[in-house]
Structure 1
Amino acid sequence: MKKIIGTSAFALVTSALVIGPASAQDYPNKPVTAVIQMAPGGPTDLIVRVIQQKMGEELGQALIIENKAGAGGLIGIKNVLSAHADGYTLGIATGSSHGVAPNIYENLPYNPTKDFRPVGTLVMAPGVLVASKAAVPDCRYETFIKKLKENPGEMKYGSAGIGTLAHMTGAYFLAETETDMLHIPYRGLGPAMIDLQGGSIDALFDNISSARAHLKGGKICALAIQSDKRLEEYPSIPTYAELGLPQLNKPTWYGLIARAETPDAVILELNAALNKTLDSESVANLYKGMGVQPFKSTPEEFSALMQEENEFWKNVTEKINFAKLKL
């Protein structure tokens, strides 16, 4: 049996051997698929693809990635929910799927805690407010806010879809700054970034991992970062706390999940492979270059993080009086 890590590994493995539907010795015997609920080129896609090769090596089977974008990520999540609970189809949990969505939809077709099991976290990732230079030529946050206040409802911000983290971060930002922008939903942050560079929208609440490559192109600029301190690679980008908005200074996370009925031993095998992957120097360097930090956890620690995220967005939606949506 492969070496298992985690604070409660012995208890879970013992339980799995007693129940007996699958064991870590039997798993995996075929490729494993990770379903990404966002379009290629966005932060979720980029972050997951970093671990693809190395985690496949740790599992001894290929890790296949499939993008199932649409409906604010719900199509991909439902795809995982309809798969067999055998550990061969994994999903990606984000602040959107397990924090935002449960608090903004009246009839969400899944329960984030009852329908899925946490495998482990991937990274902590700072969000970044980016704007087109056509809208903010001097790349100053103060200019952006001044323009918003002088032109309420005229400027446009994009997101990865209705109900996504990018959408709700924008809604929270507008409420806290007492400004207004028109929300334009896309099928992922990748398509939204294309329109931002083309000038069709004015701003985007993105992730530094996907925005960084475009910042070098000269058509957009970063105005604020969700981080406890300025990033070494981008020392000129102020944190939200520096700009008087400490409540927005919250980085997000990404992680792997499986169907709730997935056997304990399979979850632990996946967690062990994931954490070994995150220990890899090559993976760590790739993430560092993206401006995000590898973040290992046990399934139990990841579960607690999800609960904290859910509570945070519950408080936010109540504070900004967000009317729940119907699917």
Structure 2
Amino acid sequence: MQRRHFIASLAATTVVPGMSFAQDNSRPLRIVVPFPPGGSTDMVVRNLQDVLGRLLNQPVVIENRAGAGGSIGMSEVARATDNLTLGVATLSTHGVNPAVLSKLPYDATKDFVGVTEMVKAPGVIVVNPKALPVKDMAELVAYLKANPGKVSYATPGNGTIGHMWGELFKRATGTDMLHIPYRGAGPAINDVLGGQVPVYFDQVASSLAQINSGKVRAIAVSWPERLDVLPNVPTYAELGYKDINDPSWFGLVAPKSMPAAQVARIQKAVAAALKEDVVKQRMAAQGLYPTGTSTAAFTKQIETEIAKMKQVAAYAKIQLD
């Protein structure tokens, strides 16, 4: 009932004057989120949903199709032929999965066109200060080198972004840690907070509350400059590790069959929505930074990320099938 009411209300909403990409279209634009409701991937598009619907003069509905690390939802998007279906692409679905799964049910480059990157999300390495009393990167690296293989780090599972970030960290710092994969982010962070596992690789958006409460200590962030929300935490690049200073990201992809004019229309609307104050405020509150890149730039970015993650997978010998 709520979804039908939302579609009806959006259909009745008028478009902002001057938006040349607007058109009267009562059929809803469907955005598939390949992960469960409530997570960071889901929140990104829900931050945009009402504004995007207004700018497009078209209902926008969001459907969660979770499972298999995002593969189920993405394969559904790849098969869509209605020219109205999009998918939320992440570093996991369009970077990690192609690198660690040889039997992926979709081709991350051949089956999609990258509509636009919506936001970037800084990463962070945190430690439980009670379980591992190190104060900064120098102390952490020194401790890890003095205790090779004795310190563990938690992730939401094998082949997840956290796992890849952990392996990148090990390679960049010349250290060795034991990977402890969990079945989801919830159990992983719970054990980090409990002290069973002292180190965790996460996005700032997900860890900010625990950092601010002092339950975990932020050691470094992956961002071009220090974050306003964590001004005392240095970047990896600042500490001499520029190769692991890349943040995570969330974008929109369309099936390769979607007409170029429709792709361009959506890209322009998303870029405009990301500039609206209400959207910027929502994103900032969650530690997310709007971008709204061009279709060509995002398509190229996906190719670059896959190549990078394949290098990490080869180095760490990560293969999940």
* Partner SS state of residue 128, structure 1: strand
In the alignment, residue 119 of structure 2 is paired with which amino acid?
Answer: V
Aligned to 1:289: 285
The 1:171–1:118 alpha-carbon spacing in structure 2 relative to 1, beyond 3 Å, is: same
Aligned to 1:323: 317
- What is the rounded CA distance, in whole Å, between the counterparts of 1:201 and 1:87 in structure 2? 46
Aligned to 2:230: 234
Which of these residues, 78, 82, 92, is aligned with residue 81 of structure 1?
Answer: 78
100-109 or 166-175, which deviates more: 100-109
Aligned to 1:206: 202
Residue correspondence of structure 1 range 1-327 to structure 2 within 5 A: 3-4=20-21, 25=23, 28-82=25-79, 84-186=80-182, 188-318=184-314, 320=315, 322-323=316-317, 325-327=319-321
- What is the rounded CA distance, in whole Å, between the counterparts of 2:191 and 2:225 in structure 1? 29
8 Å CA contact retained: 1:72, 1:161 = no
The 1:194–1:61 alpha-carbon spacing in structure 2 relative to 1, beyond 3 Å, is: farther
In the alignment, residue 49 of structure 2 is paired with which amino acid?
Answer: Q
Q: CA RMSD in A?
A: 2.7
Shift of 1:29: 2.6
The 1:288–1:263 alpha-carbon spacing in structure 2 relative to 1, beyond 3 Å, is: same
Shift of 1:138: 5.0
- What is the rounded CA distance, in whole Å, between the counterparts of 2:181 and 2:308 in structure 1? 23
Normalised TM-score (structure 2): 0.83
Shift of 1:226: 0.7
The 1:86–1:187 alpha-carbon spacing in structure 2 relative to 1, beyond 3 Å, is: farther
- What is the rounded CA distance, in whole Å, between the counterparts of 2:148 and 2:275 in structure 1? 47
In the alignment, residue 167 of structure 2 is paired with which amino acid?
Answer: A
Shift of 1:294: 0.9
The 1:117–1:251 alpha-carbon spacing in structure 2 relative to 1, beyond 3 Å, is: same
Q: Identity over the aligned pairs, expressed in percent?
A: 39
Aligned residue-pair number: 304
The 1:218–1:161 alpha-carbon spacing in structure 2 relative to 1, beyond 3 Å, is: same
8 Å CA contact retained: 2:144, 2:176 = yes
8 Å CA contact retained: 1:41, 1:210 = no
8 Å CA contact retained: 1:128, 1:222 = yes
The 1:67–1:196 alpha-carbon spacing in structure 2 relative to 1, beyond 3 Å, is: farther
Deviation string 1:243-267 (CA, Å, 9 cap, x unpaired) is: 2312111123210012221222322
In the alignment, residue 131 of structure 2 is paired with which amino acid?
Answer: A
The 1:270–1:308 alpha-carbon spacing in structure 2 relative to 1, beyond 3 Å, is: same
The 1:71–1:203 alpha-carbon spacing in structure 2 relative to 1, beyond 3 Å, is: farther
Shift of 1:190: 4.7
Deviation string 1:121-160 (CA, Å, 9 cap, x unpaired) is: 1112221112223323454333433443344334332334
* Partner SS state of residue 216, structure 1: helix
- What is the rounded CA distance, in whole Å, between the counterparts of 1:254 and 1:127 in structure 2? 13
The 1:201–1:86 alpha-carbon spacing in structure 2 relative to 1, beyond 3 Å, is: farther
